[in-house]
Structure 1
Amino acid sequence: MKNTTQLSSLALATALVASGWTAPAFAQEGVNDADPAAAIVVIGTRRTDRTVADSTVPIDVISGDALQNSGTTETNKLLNQLVPSFNFPQPSLTDGTDSLRPATLRGLSPDQVLVLVNGKRRHQSSLINLNGSVGRGSTAVDMNTIPPLAIERIEVLRDGASSLYGSDAIAGVINIQLKRSVGGKAQISFGKYITQMDGVDQVDTVDPTLTSPTFAIGTNGFYSVSGGDNPVISYTGKDRKRNDGDTYTMATNIGLPVGDNGYLNFTAEYKDRSPTNRSGPDIRRNYFAAGDPRETTIDRYWHRYGDGESKDMNFFVNAGVDLSEAVEFYTFGSYGVRDGNGAGFYRRSLDIRNQDWSASTTSFIPIYADGFLPLIESQIVDISAAAGIRGDLGAWNYDLSLVYGSNRLDYGVSNSVNTSLGGANSLRKFNAGGLRSGQTSLNLDVQRELDIGIGKSVSFAFGGEWRNENYKIVPGEEQSWINGPFSTAPYGAAGGSQVFPGFRPSNATDVSRDSFAGYVELDSDITDSFTLQLAGRYEHFSDFGDTVNGKAAARFEPISGLAFRGSISTGFRAPSLAQQSFQTTSTNNVGGQLIEIGTFPVTSAVAIALGAQPLKPEKSVNIGGGVSFTMIDGLSITADYYNIKINDRITLTENLQGADIVSTLTAAGITGVSSARFFINGIDTRTQGLDIVASYRLPDFGAGTVRLSAGFNLNDTKITDRRTFSGFTAQRLFARQESYRLTEGQPKDKLNVSLDWDYDKVGLTLRTNRYGKVFLPSSYSTSANNNNIDLAPGEVPGDIFLSPKWVTDMELRIKPIESVQIAVGANNIFDVYPDRLPFGTVDGVNYGLNNSFLPYSSQSPFGFSGRFVYGRVSIDF
């Protein structure tokens, strides 16, 4: 059945593309629904009259309507459906990243795309992604705090723009324009996953006849549980079915006039998402004793692999009023809170991490009789406030603004234990500390039209920015990080709360920096057919110095409706304060000694002794060129090539450990540390690709309005150079698995195709996305060369390729009365899953048993949750 439906999706997409009806649904709301290319944009230039069609660089505009016609209410998921160069994997078992998932543009890092709200820089989150997910080592903007109902439209600039906006704008810029209209809308939606897990069997019987493991002191001098048999399990032959992930969303948007010349637009959203579980059966034994009858009755799907539990409240306000004919005061802001709950690995009953040393030091006694699933409970509080005045001063337009934003992440751990304290003495719930980040920006932008006798029109703009950033790490309570009496030999219990040891007092951090910038920009229509844009920016950071960047872009339209455009620019991304200052440590017992293992800031004595240098900004050169075709009424097609060279990309080293590490640190007077990692300017990369975006509005044929659209992205990233220092090889600093996660861990091609039909009181949206192949490098012990960076994909036993997949969404809408709309639909209507991962020994490769209960890769570009069915009611007032 699944193969048939996937072929149906392919046939539909092929037919639409072959007919010339191509690209993502970019109809405009409040701009020009009949001609999206006529939309006035506020990114990519300081001009006030530049349209999408006239832009010298590629810009996509996504309407608020397109965001509404979907079952998801997460902004990142919506962009993943609508923008071909946007990628939003949904990892699980990645600590705080489960609650704050990063997204990417053009295959680059999440922190290499700049996010604006109403044209003003949005603050980043405090979370730095350190675990095995796309975007490892980066911080990102949490766009899921922005309710879709608050959005008038989203502008996506697919070109380097550091000379215009400063740091982070290497891959491009996403500008979210908030609603300012008068009126109101309220909506409530409910959806859940109704799915059948592809390739994951239901357990039928379990044979508990087992040989017991041993509980004794091993050759390393510590107690361990070893040996014993796993149960023999038979299956029903039927795929596992799941009905979970119930999601309720209630939102309202209200727009009010303020006097004769003002507006106040307010949005409130509440979202309640239950967790999903896509774990397979854990086929390992759970209990210590041979023949324990509980092996036959326990639910072997005890892991929780999928979306975590989440409760979100988000509020947005956007307001403005004319103080005079020439001056407008405006303000906007947001408040959001998210209570998240994500699971770690299940600790089986016989796991040494479940041993109750306070009950016995010579026999195995579990703390949790059936084992336990530790949970990470996160609370995220996100706040932003902006205010400014803009207007005219003679021939000059000006905009003076002040923006503040902060993100706070507090970690809690529940259903856990600090084994090193003993079961009788440890808490089961912990406050593990938290992260804080803040940003304050003061901007002045000035622009005017010049008449200098050259060109049809010349826009001259200049301005400046002061920005302050701060970053903090707050320690957790003592039991969340302390090493108890059972951390020493012969017990060897790890200290701290299991699944997420708390931040220690020694990890406490409070750092800040300032930056000052000035820019100048010329944007001129030299003739009716030729446009030239030039820009330059100087920026000074208090922690690493100066950077200067420039841009030149041009557009030539020799025939009306056929235009060629190109750009070249330099860019940069300042190392985040988190990358410079994040630190966390844990303690393991090695050879009877407590050894510190951790992530250290580059300024620490440990990192310096191992050769770390102060981080420099990443520097880029962006080259782009393309063509725009609008010669047929209702049809717009653009094709753009890009080439992005980035030097000094910031990466997190591998865990550096071994006798030479200990020797080097000892020579520097540092003892008790056996393993360390830190951030370095580790690699250079080149990313190149092609974006093709088109839309077609069919002529009126008496059966409503039909819009066909599609987009295609082809993307390739290569590592062109690697850094070495202090005797470390390039492979040791940034090994094969992380190298290929960066270059091959996202699809090299992606296709969006959609159809929107509206007729009287009925509407239909149909979207399908094809996600290209993803490579997962081997990480298994039988692969002797699994860290050899010189071996290409497929050359190491255990390398895995996730095959391309089609994912199709459909929604049907009806208006029983003018002010009420009812919608029903399904995301991933054909219930498509990524390829099931192998486990056990397959073709001579021992993949281990973890994939038995973690059946799908977290790097799947469309997640691994299956079919989501939903309904929505909207009321306009």
Structure 2
Amino acid sequence: MIAGLLLACLNSYAQHVVKGKVSDNTGAPIPGVSVFEKGTSRGATTDAAGAFQLEAGNANAVIVFRVLGYATQEVSLNGKNTLNVSLVSESTAIQGVEVVGSRSLNRSVTQTPVPIDIIPVAKITNSVGQLDLNQLMQFVAPSFNSNRQTGSDGADHIDPATLRGLGPDQTLVLINGKRRHQSSLVNLYGTRGRGNTGTDLNTIPAAAIERIEILRDGAAAQYGSDAIAGVINIVLKSSTDGLTTNINGGITSKGDGENVGLNANYGFKIGEGGFINVTTDYLYRGRTNRAEDPAKVGEDNVPRRFYGDAMMENYAAMYNARIPIAEKAEIYSFGGYNQRHGNAYAFTRYAGDDRNIPSIYPNGFDPQIISDIGDRSISVGVRGVMKGWNVDFNNTYGINRFHYYVDHTLNASLLEQSPTRFDAGGFQLSQNTAGLHFTRFFENVLPKGTNIAFGTEFRTENYRIFAGEEGSWKAYGAYDLVPNDNGGIDTVYKAAGSQGFPGFQPANMVDESRTNLGVYADGEFNFSSNFMIGAAGRYERYNDFGSTINGKLSMRYEISPALAFRGSISTGFRAPSLAQIYFNTTYTNVVRGEVIENLLTRNQSNITRVLGVEPLKQEKAVNASLGLTSRPAPGLSITVDGYYVKIKDRIVLTGDFTADNAPEIAPDLDKLNVSVVKFFTNALDTKTLGLDAIVTWNKRFSGGHDFTATLAANFNDLETGDIKTSAKLASRKDIYFSDRERSFLVASAPPSKINLTLDYRYGKFNTNLRFVRFDRIRLQNYDLVYDIYDARIVTDLSVGYQIIPAVTWVVGASNLFNVYPTRHNATLTDSGGIYEPLQMGFNGTYFFSRLSFRF
């Protein structure tokens, strides 16, 4: 009994009371921070003033500070009774990397006047089944939309992605704050973002990424062309704490679509404060097939025997490095290598099809479009402090090359002599950007300081199309004699070129370049600790279409630590891509013995000049946003942001013009020996009105139970204006941009997407439950009737366990309840399947498992 009393007294004496305050880098208090002793259940939460009091087990305990949006910090007491801590925002935790949307190095994400999402990729990938970056973001960020395509040529191999429902090329992508080159692919057939180019996010392995910052606001005045919808900044890992490897595997409930992923990340120090972090990544994705069985419904009702995801094999490597060269200067570099091999099925040619040669394919054939996509990038820079200014000089180069092959196919005009595999040619885009940037924070200008930034960038771009082998495109003149309805005989010529994907001809070859010079200035003025105004302006000149000036004003006003308002208004622009200006391809037909061309012609060709089509010009935008941020209670965070985006002169790809549907241009087509023509043009004005809302609540319960709930939603309403045509085609607006194409454009901005994520952690155990509601959309089919795809809720679940400190195992299911889109008639859909490619996907349940090792 005496011993028990003595032990109780010793325990009581050992307890150590500690008080303190938690603030951000400006000194503002942070409420709702979980403060607890490491390895115990003893904890507290900061109040509205950021204050806390905690009884620790002993005077040398380690205290952990954790709250959403800031880097977790651990501090040893070392006998202290008072502990004041300043937390670093997760978006500024890596030295030298700006928060996207602000060039101030002193501003955290919670203090910016525009909405920014921070996605900690390194954490999220441990609890979700998606392995590639596009699909991972699709299910995490409500304003981000990506459709995995099928039957869409090159888009089967590169997923088009959008922000706030705008075009894939209206979102600028940065890596470590530097402009990322775009893909060389222009989306053409059956895709969201038809007629757009975009950035291939899947060339960047998720294992190399620390976090992703999504600026949901127009930023062309800050970052230049392509930032109408916003900016995605990918921040690479800079850790030097050893080796991390992951082994991923998964398969659908139908036994196809197998995924195998292997990646490794290793970082080590170089000198004092330097590092290099390297990632290697391999990902294999098997095909899925959700086509109906022709034997059950008949060939006439099944355009494709294979309908589903393409096979994909992806090899990637990235590095991120920084080496100090002086006390206040360093050299930095990052870059990557990506090689992708894809194989996608095109529409079926059945045995009796005129495009089939039965002696080669007695049962018909399914052409396979094969892609070899190479992507390379390197960025090198020097930054440091010079006379109080942060100076950054950088050069970034990137190139994307897309090479097509077509297998299990034929050129019907060669009859039995046709090969079954062709080199179909392809295209490539390279981009080099050199920039010089200056930033400085003046503490004594205005009550709370002023940040000034200015700089210049010079960019060169080159776009090429290279031809395929002759047999992939040429018409060789073979024909059949077919009885007609009048009792006579018609001569029907065999289809030319490789079936599934005709090759590029020598006449399509392009090698075009352009230059761009940009100059910007940016200021943020802190009139008090509660009120700031930002202003930015940018001048750009392109050598091929001229100059543009854009500006932006923003503000943030904090009424109290629990409530702040923010807003912005800006003008923006997007220069037409080189692919939109120069892309062209030719399909050859033989009519009555005469070779006739079907053209997707370049914007300024002979035929477009004859038709009076104007040269492509920049898309112009006006953006406005207004929102609030609130922390009404400990652990509870609310942001609501409304936005309006008006875009003038959007670039679209027209429909097919022929002598039959546009007889007024029949003489022009006949003179040029053209039967069908389409082209890119500035034909459309759009308005988008939307709302983003994010509510997050996190709580650490007694006993060490951590719980986080996040409700995130995006609401969109896209309106399209009148169609602007050339004078010769003024009566053909239905072909220039049809109601059917309009439905696909509007579907890129679905009315809403709502995401509820519940995350629970206790000791070595964690679980993640996610519900994503995809709203109803309407797509016009080939009968000009609207197919309705009803709203669906997709449920994802994962469970993880730390087997030993160095090994974690996660198992789970995406689309747990096997939810599919609404079924429709496959002969009338754009993709030739019973479902169109939708955001939610059409593969059903996917089971996955992941083993992670950390050494």
Task: Tell me the TM-score range normalised by the shorter chain.
Answer: 0.7 to 0.9
- 1:815 is aligned, of 777, 797, 802, to 802
- How far apart are residue 36 of structure 1 and its match? 9.3
The one-letter amino acid of 1:376's match is: I
5 Å matches for 1:8-19?
A: none
SS in 1 for 2:326: coil
Question: 2:832 and 2:403 mapped to 1: Cα distance?
Answer: 29
- How far apart are residue 476 of structure 1 and its match? 0.1
CA contact (8 A) 2:716 2:749 kept: no
CA contact (8 A) 1:655 1:675 kept: yes
2:402 corresponds to: 409
Identity of aligned residues (%): 39
Could you report, residue by residue, the CA deviation over 1:470-501 in whole angstroms, capped at 9, with x for unpaired residues? 10000000110110121697231111000001
2:171 corresponds to: 113
Query: Paired residues, what number?
Result: 761
Could you report, residue by residue, the CA deviation over 1:505-532 in whole angstroms, capped at 9, with x for unpaired residues? 0000000000001000111111111010
5 Å matches for 1:457-856?
A: 457-486=449-478, 490-659=491-660, 664=665, 666-667=667-668, 670-728=671-729, 729=731, 730-780=733-783, 786=784, 798-838=785-825, 848=827, 854-856=833-835
So what's the TM-score if we normalise by structure 2?
0.86
- How far apart are residue 67 of structure 1 and its match? 3.1
Question: 2:185 and 2:582 mapped to 1: Cα distance?
Answer: 12
- How far apart are residue 38 of structure 1 and its match? 6.5
1:293 corresponds to: none
CA contact (8 A) 2:99 2:109 kept: no
- 1:278 is aligned, of 283, 286, 290, to 290
User: Which structure is richer in relative contact order (CA contacts within 8 A, separation 6 or more)?
Assistant: 1
1:248 corresponds to: 260
2:431 corresponds to: 439
The one-letter amino acid of 1:188's match is: I
Structure-2 change in CA distance of 1:768 and 1:518 (3 Å) = same
CA contact (8 A) 1:762 1:815 kept: yes
CA contact (8 A) 1:745 1:776 kept: no
5 Å matches for 1:196-215?
A: none
The one-letter amino acid of 1:307's match is: D
- How far apart are residue 747 of structure 1 and its match? 2.0
1:211 corresponds to: none
Structure-2 change in CA distance of 1:139 and 1:518 (3 Å) = same
CA contact (8 A) 2:812 2:847 kept: yes
SS in 2 for 1:485: coil
- The answer to whether the aligner puts 1:93 opposite 2:151 as a matched pair is yes
Question: 2:664 and 2:151 mapped to 1: Cα distance?
Answer: 35
1:159 corresponds to: 217
1:21 corresponds to: none
Question: 1:339 and 1:96 mapped to 2: Cα distance?
Answer: 12
- The answer to whether the aligner puts 1:329 opposite 2:331 as a matched pair is yes
Question: 1:109 and 1:734 mapped to 2: Cα distance?
Answer: 16
5 Å matches for 1:309-348?
A: 309-348=311-350
Structure-2 change in CA distance of 1:60 and 1:584 (3 Å) = same
Structure-2 change in CA distance of 1:563 and 1:536 (3 Å) = same
Structure-2 change in CA distance of 1:418 and 1:662 (3 Å) = farther
1:144 corresponds to: 202
CA contact (8 A) 1:280 1:852 kept: no
Question: 1:422 and 1:741 mapped to 2: Cα distance?
Answer: 38
CA contact (8 A) 1:837 1:851 kept: no
CA contact (8 A) 1:280 1:853 kept: no
Question: 1:123 and 1:453 mapped to 2: Cα distance?
Answer: 38
Question: 1:575 and 1:508 mapped to 2: Cα distance?
Answer: 19
SS in 2 for 1:630: strand
5 Å matches for 1:360-375?
A: 365-375=358-368
Question: 2:67 and 2:722 mapped to 1: Cα distance?
Answer: 39
CA contact (8 A) 1:287 1:349 kept: no
CA contact (8 A) 1:280 1:301 kept: no
Structure-2 change in CA distance of 1:745 and 1:326 (3 Å) = closer
CA RMSD after TM alignment: 2.3
CA contact (8 A) 1:373 1:416 kept: yes
Structure-2 change in CA distance of 1:375 and 1:715 (3 Å) = same
- How far apart are residue 851 of structure 1 and its match? 9.6
2:126 corresponds to: 68
Could you report, residue by residue, the CA deviation over 1:21-48 in whole angstroms, capped at 9, with x for unpaired residues? xxxx995585679989674352111100
Could you report, residue by residue, the CA deviation over 1:283-321 in whole angstroms, capped at 9, with x for unpaired residues? 699899xxxxxxxxxx99971111111110010000011
Question: 1:245 and 1:740 mapped to 2: Cα distance?
Answer: 29
Could you report, residue by residue, the CA deviation over 1:163-200 in whole angstroms, capped at 9, with x for unpaired residues? 11000001100000000011220110110001xxxxxx
- How far apart are residue 553 of structure 1 and its match? 0.1
Question: 2:495 and 2:181 mapped to 1: Cα distance?
Answer: 36
SS in 2 for 1:699: strand
CA contact (8 A) 2:781 2:830 kept: no
- How far apart are residue 132 of structure 1 and its match? 1.2
The one-letter amino acid of 1:278's match is: R
- The answer to whether the aligner puts 1:263 opposite 2:275 as a matched pair is yes
- How far apart are residue 732 of structure 1 and its match? 2.6
Question: 2:138 and 2:247 mapped to 1: Cα distance?
Answer: 23
SS in 2 for 1:350: coil
Structure-2 change in CA distance of 1:758 and 1:852 (3 Å) = closer
Q: Which stretch of the first structure deviates more once superposed, 449-458 or 714-723?
A: 449-458
- How far apart are residue 605 of structure 1 and its match? 0.2
Structure-2 change in CA distance of 1:113 and 1:300 (3 Å) = closer
Structure-2 change in CA distance of 1:68 and 1:301 (3 Å) = farther
1:391 corresponds to: 384
- The answer to whether the aligner puts 1:192 opposite 2:257 as a matched pair is no
CA contact (8 A) 1:656 1:676 kept: yes
Structure 1: stretches of 5+ with no match in the other structure: 1-24, 195-241, 289-298, 356-364, 781-785, 787-797, 840-847
- How far apart are residue 758 of structure 1 and its match? 1.6
- The answer to whether the aligner puts 1:875 opposite 2:816 as a matched pair is no
Question: 1:338 and 1:38 mapped to 2: Cα distance?
Answer: 32
Q: Which stretch of the first structure deviates more once superposed, 627-636 or 243-252?
A: 627-636
Could you report, residue by residue, the CA deviation over 1:640-682 in whole angstroms, capped at 9, with x for unpaired residues? 0000000010011111112586764745983310211111110
1:48 corresponds to: 105
Structure-2 change in CA distance of 1:511 and 1:662 (3 Å) = farther
Structure-2 change in CA distance of 1:589 and 1:596 (3 Å) = same
- How far apart are residue 631 of structure 1 and its match? 3.4
1:429 corresponds to: 421
CA contact (8 A) 2:474 2:588 kept: no
- How far apart are residue 62 of structure 1 and its match? 0.8
Question: 2:360 and 2:381 mapped to 1: Cα distance?
Answer: 58
CA contact (8 A) 2:446 2:526 kept: no
- How far apart are residue 260 of structure 1 and its match? 2.2
- How far apart are residue 699 of structure 1 and its match? 3.3
The one-letter amino acid of 2:399's match is: S
Question: 2:825 and 2:297 mapped to 1: Cα distance?
Answer: 19
CA contact (8 A) 1:808 1:829 kept: yes
CA contact (8 A) 2:150 2:831 kept: no
Structure 2: stretches of 5+ with no match in the other structure: 1-65, 75-85, 93-97, 481-489
Question: 1:31 and 1:382 mapped to 2: Cα distance?
Answer: 35
SS in 2 for 1:353: coil
CA contact (8 A) 2:712 2:755 kept: yes
CA contact (8 A) 2:183 2:429 kept: yes
2:115 corresponds to: 58
Question: 1:438 and 1:544 mapped to 2: Cα distance?
Answer: 19
Question: 1:28 and 1:334 mapped to 2: Cα distance?
Answer: 28
The one-letter amino acid of 1:156's match is: I
SS in 2 for 1:65: helix
SS in 2 for 1:737: helix
